[in-house]
Amino acid sequence: MTASSALATQLVHVLTAAGQSVGTAESLTGGRLCAALVDVPGASAVVRGGIVAYAADVKVAVLGVPADVVDRHGAVAAVTARTMAERARTLLGADWGVATTGAAGPTGSEGQPPGRAHIGVAGPARVVDRVLDIAGDRDAVRSGTVRAALVFLLDEVANHATAGTSSDG
């Protein structure tokens, strides 16, 4: 079992136990994140769907990322990843949205260096992002981004569960 498949299995089990769902919006990873999730038996209980929006105009036209966000910040940016995650959550009717955008290499994109990945997570309480620089060829960058996105989403689901169970004492 690969690291990504183990993480995806863990995420599917955690979301199933919580009665929650997830949707993906992917650029950099080209569908690999959603594929990792649906490879897990029982994923149909939690995965609402995935959208691959590789081109900037597709991020705008299909996902509904505001054109001014892409014009001002670029398709490869933290704010774009956050907005993609929010739009995935809304469009797919999921509790959680997770998105990836970046520059897989061998050259950079929009002033971002090769290996730069932006991951956005939108949940019931907040929208957050992480920026990573991953060394290696295109496959290593894309695989590393999938792993990082799964870890990030697992962290956010756990943080939300902890926040939801705290009391004022």
pLDDT tens-digit map of 18-63:
999 999 999 999 999 999 999 999 999 999 999 999 999 999 999 9
- Residue 15: closest CA among 142, 124, 132, 101: 124
State residue 21 phi and psi, 5-degree precision: -130, 165
Quick one: pLDDT at residue 163?
82
What's the confidence (pLDDT) of residue 165? 52
Six-digit token pair at 162? 């902890």
Q: What percent of the chain has pLDDT over 70?
A: 96
Q: Give exposure, 14-37, as e/b (b: 16+ Cβ within 10 Å).
A: bbeebebbbbbbbbbbeebbbbbb
pLDDT per residue over 134-167, tens digit each?
A: 999 999 999 999 999 999 999 999 999 888 654 4
Tell me which residue has tokens 């999938």.
Answer: 146
Q: What residue segments make up the domains of the chain, in order of their start? A: 3-158
Q: What is the pLDDT of residue 101?
A: 98
pLDDT tens-digit readout, 81-114: 999 999 999 999 999 999 999 999 999 999 899 9
pLDDT for 167 equals 44
User: What is the separation of C-alpha 126 from the centre of its chain, rounded to a whole number of angstroms?
Assistant: 14
Q: What is the pLDDT of residue 169?
A: 43
pTM: 0.94
DSSP E strands: which ranges in the chain? 22-26, 47-52, 96-102, 116-122, 127-133
pLDDT score recorded for residue 56: 97
Q: For domain 3-158, give the fold.
A: Maf protein (3.90.950)
